[in-house]
Structure 1
Amino acid sequence: MGTPRTIYISGAGIAGLTLAHGLAKFGLQVVVLERNSAISEFGAGLQISPNARKVLDNLGLGEAIAEKSFVPEGIDIFPDGRAEPLQTLTLGSEIADRFGAPYAVMHRADLVEVLHAAARRFANIDVVFGVSDIAVQSQGGAVTVTAAEPDGKTRRAQPFAFVGADGVRSQTRTDVLDGPEARYTGKVAWRALVPPDRLHGSVRLDRTSLLLASDFHMVVYPLPHRGAVNLALFTQEAQSDLAVLDQRAPRVRAKGNRRLEAILGAVGDGWTPWVLSTVELENWHKGAVGLIGDAAHAMLPFQAQGAAMAIEDAAVLAPLLAASPNAEHAFKRFFALRHQRVRRVQEVSRRNGKVFHMRFPSKLARNAVIRMEGPRGHFKRLDWLYGYDPGGSD
């Protein structure tokens, strides 16, 4: 037996830690470099669809995820201030039976902590916090990594591969692969967590709620493990206004929409804005350096698949890095297996954003389709997404 391959990963978020866990199970040595001094994950809730949950379950994390997540019974859709849902999409046990895993919601930080706790149990995973000045040189199929550690020492290594899992603002993408900066989409996510009693009578807390209106929409779902309800309000904002977003509340027309008025009143000035940017690349690698997750393909969150795509990426890339003759071969195969699927999810997410924000008269046709498809129409429509097996070749 030779010395195990060593993989360096930049970023201890969902993408990086899921990949680290997968690589460690194949016996590889893994070093995760994280610029923050501790686990730090911005945001609030996220949705874990069956395609992502199957990966996490296969890594042995199903029980830990179940303890810190919640399975909604359905999605209530409320267009234009309707008193009753236009449609309730079925989730719960039925979607789990159909796709082999549940559709759950949880706090983003809880998922990262589950992944980090799992990584700590592996002797062949080293997560190094507080690093700076990460430099990567790739030449002739070889890669050299240097980084400054918190104690002032310089770490230098020549790993089998270097993976940029460093998010939408990825320095690996821009500095090492000479890729583009992320592109602003014109949309902003306003996030908040509120105690459940503040929303009493406004939404059902055994379900997710989707409120649709012209130019904005809102997603609401409970996070019982946190004793909170997650709210995400998506608006369209001019780029010239981005610098002052944190100085004001979101601007939405709520007059006459009692449910929306109640929710906005419950949050008050507790919103945190997050600028939504996307990344589209025709190449995710150069030599022994590659990208996964948002660093490679950040997308709009309107199909709730950003984290899921990162988790799928990790499941596909880990065995390739374990078995391929060299890193470049692994990254080329990874791109071939993932690129078209990710592009399709990006396009669906973009299209959903337009559908959610439709004006009259287009929204009449949208509402008619939602009603006609019924509570289980999304099962067939999203079979390609939720039924995906990351171990296959789709």
Structure 2
Amino acid sequence: MPGTGRTYYIAGAGISGLTLALALAKFGATVVVLERSPTISEFGAGLQISPNARKVLDNLGLDEALTARSLEPNGIDIFPYRRQTPLVTLELGAIMRERFGAPYAVMHRADLADTLYKACRRFANIDILFGVRSWDVKSHAHGVTVSIDEANGQSRTGRGLAFIGADGVHSRTRTDIIGGPQARYGHRVAWRTLLSFDSAAGQIALDRVTVLFGPDYHMVCYPLPHRRQINLALFAKVTQAKSELGTRPQLPGARTQSPRVDALLTAAGDTWSPWPLYTVRASEWHTGNIGIIGDAAHAMVPFQAQGAAMGIEDAAALAPLLIAEASAEVAFEKYHRQRRNRVARVARTSATNGRIFHLRWPFSLARNLAIAMQGRRGHLRRLAWLYGHDAQPVVALTRARRAAD
């Protein structure tokens, strides 16, 4: 495809930023990505790539690479507190492809970031600058002017049609440039670690995701076969200061755990990393030709496992608009209108899940009964609005391709 003559700057080489860079480059645009870290760095966490996100990534040509580094689980085993056998196994696997047109997979966050990075490196029109010391951006009638202090101490100035902040939950683009809110800490923490397959033998299935409920906490276990490891993520509310979290989960009230949770905690020892959870509610996602996507715009609690997916969807929605519209400002306005209600609904669902997952007895009995009554396929109906979504409307893609040509 011939070049569009359009240049875009992106702050942040995370999942949202690299997905957007790849999508824009596929339309022939020139993309400059600014990253403070010296390398691609997504720290140890498993994530779910549900069909709504996988369709975007597959359209970018990543199907084969993702399949090689992810697991398409047969289901999700749900274990209420101290239960020895699953209450139900939510069906995944082939039925997800049949219902929603793409697989449901789990993988390590670093593997997804690396897959995106390698895909970007194949495009001569994507330039990723690592170790960027600082940047400044000004919006004007014809686009943006970006000043960059590079890792080697040199400075450069460039011009483009738009600047997109994909710089995460503590986004400088949101707070300093757009004038949006600071991220909010809700005293929830995700403790994360990796176990070898052998260490978890007999405790969880290695071809399925496992969710373990407890009073005021829950644990999610993601098998990662190509690594021969299992990612554990334990979520709980805490009263401690962030500086006092340590390297072992501090469960509410120090309650006696179920034997399965005890065994996994013992196997992991002091290898856990605490990750304080922040949320963002920004009413504005752009000013002039400067906008934000992903966690920078709408970070949410991870109890529907859609944080990365929403950033991927953002990129898929925004890229064709930036190419097709006469001005970036119009593109950002349309993108915001398209995305805000859906993102808000996902955030509400995630927050509700957090309350449901952490219920204490006797309220947990009602939760367990509701889950059992929905059965193995109830989630397919309940979440069809989420998994069946197409973030790349045909009209927008058609207009963008015409503009690129």
Pairwise TM-score range, normalised by the shorter structure = over 0.9
**How far apart, CA to CA, are the structure 2 residues paired with 1:247 and 1:59?**
38
Partner SS, residue 158 of structure 1: strand
Partner AA of 1:246 in structure 2? G
Which residue does 1:246 correspond to in 2?
246
Which residue does 1:115 correspond to in 2?
116
Which residue does 2:391 correspond to in 1?
390
Which residue does 1:229 correspond to in 2?
230
CA deviations on 1:27-70 (whole Å, 9 max, x unpaired) are 11100000111111123211100000000000010000000001
- Aligned sequence identity (%): 56
Partner SS, residue 69 of structure 1: coil
Which residue does 2:153 correspond to in 1?
152
The within-5 A match list for 1:138-287 is 138-140=139-141, 142-238=143-239, 240-246=240-246, 249-251=249-251, 253=254, 255=256, 257-287=258-288
What's the offset of the Cα at 1:139? 3.9
Partner SS, residue 246 of structure 1: coil
What's the offset of the Cα at 1:242? 1.2
Aligned 8 A contact 1:7 1:160 in 2: yes
**How far apart, CA to CA, are the structure 1 residues paired with 2:242 and 2:270?**
17
What's the offset of the Cα at 1:3? 6.3
Aligned 8 A contact 1:81 1:257 in 2: yes
What's the offset of the Cα at 1:141? 5.9
CA deviations on 1:65-121 (whole Å, 9 max, x unpaired) are 000001111001011110111111000111121111111011111101110000011
Which residue does 1:6 correspond to in 2?
7
Structure-2 change in CA distance of 1:91 and 1:280 (3 Å): same
**How far apart, CA to CA, are the structure 2 residues paired with 1:106 and 1:58?**
18
Which residue does 2:400 correspond to in 1?
none
The within-5 A match list for 1:1-394 is 4-140=5-141, 142-238=143-239, 240-246=240-246, 249-251=249-251, 253=254, 255=256, 257-392=258-393
**How far apart, CA to CA, are the structure 2 residues paired with 1:294 and 1:354?**
21
What's the offset of the Cα at 1:2? 8.5
CA deviations on 1:212-263 (whole Å, 9 max, x unpaired) are 111000001200111100100001012x521111365423546251111111
Structure 1 spans left out of the alignment, 5+ residues: none
Partner AA of 2:166 in structure 1? A
Partner AA of 1:242 in structure 2? K
Query: What TM-score do the two structures reach when normalised by structure 2?
Result: 0.94
CA deviations on 1:168-210 (whole Å, 9 max, x unpaired) are 0111111101111100122100000010111111111111110
**How far apart, CA to CA, are the structure 2 residues paired with 1:117 and 1:256?**
42
CA deviations on 1:262-304 (whole Å, 9 max, x unpaired) are 1111101111000000001111000000000000000110000
RMSD (Å) for aligned C-alpha atoms: 1.5
What's the offset of the Cα at 1:143? 1.9
Partner SS, residue 179 of structure 2: coil
Aligned 8 A contact 1:190 1:250 in 2: no
**How far apart, CA to CA, are the structure 1 residues paired with 2:24 and 2:208?**
36
Aligned 8 A contact 1:18 1:115 in 2: yes
Aligned 8 A contact 2:149 2:155 in 1: yes
Structure 2 spans left out of the alignment, 5+ residues: 397-405
Partner SS, residue 329 of structure 1: helix
**How far apart, CA to CA, are the structure 2 residues paired with 1:3 and 1:313?**
21
**How far apart, CA to CA, are the structure 1 residues paired with 2:58 and 2:317?**
15
State the number of aligned residues. 393
Structure-2 change in CA distance of 1:89 and 1:32 (3 Å): same
Aligned 8 A contact 1:203 1:209 in 2: yes
What's the offset of the Cα at 1:142? 3.4
What's the offset of the Cα at 1:4? 0.9
Partner SS, residue 275 of structure 1: strand
**How far apart, CA to CA, are the structure 1 residues paired with 2:290 and 2:184?**
22
Partner SS, residue 241 of structure 2: helix
**How far apart, CA to CA, are the structure 1 residues paired with 2:285 and 2:390?**
22
CA deviations on 1:353-374 (whole Å, 9 max, x unpaired) are 0000011222111111100001
Which residue does 2:402 correspond to in 1?
none
**How far apart, CA to CA, are the structure 2 residues paired with 1:3 and 1:41?**
31
Aligned 8 A contact 1:141 1:328 in 2: no
Partner AA of 2:69 in structure 1? K
**How far apart, CA to CA, are the structure 2 residues paired with 1:130 and 1:372?**
52
Structure 1 residue ranges (4+ consecutive) displaced by more than 6 angstroms after TM superposition: none
Partner SS, residue 94 of structure 1: helix
Structure-2 change in CA distance of 1:230 and 1:248 (3 Å): closer
